[in-house]
Amino acid sequence: MGLFSNDKVKRLKDIPNDLVTYITIEGEAVKDKNDKLLITSYAQGKLKTIDWYIQLIDARSEKYIVPHSRDYLVDVRNQIRAAVNRIMARPVPERKN
């Protein structure tokens, strides 16, 4: 084990408990197409992180510590997907000049 060894196990960041609530509230507050794009892009980024965490658990990675159970991550992923579907189905109000 050398001075610059990369053998350390890295603890990954927690998924916030209020993530689904935040996405839902922001989705309900959409005022234009840009708002819709921002919140759905944010949600997609979180979905990518969650999918990566699930892959690490499935692969039994010894390089990373995933701070959540697989069941929890799958549940949050499903809730986020449902929230994004609701946001995308919601019409954007027309802006008046």
> DSSP states of the chain as a string?
--TT-----EEPPPPPTTHHHHHHHHHHT--SHHHHHHHHHHHHHHHHHHHHHHHHHHTT-SSEE-SS-HHHHHHHHHHHHHHHHHHHHSPPPPPP-
Indicate the pLDDT class of residue 55, thresholds 50, 70 and 90.
Answer: very high
Q: What is the mean pLDDT of residues 13-42?
A: 95
CA dist 57 and 88 (Å) reads 30
Indicate the pLDDT class of residue 93, thresholds 50, 70 and 90.
Answer: confident
Q: pTM (2 decimals)?
A: 0.85
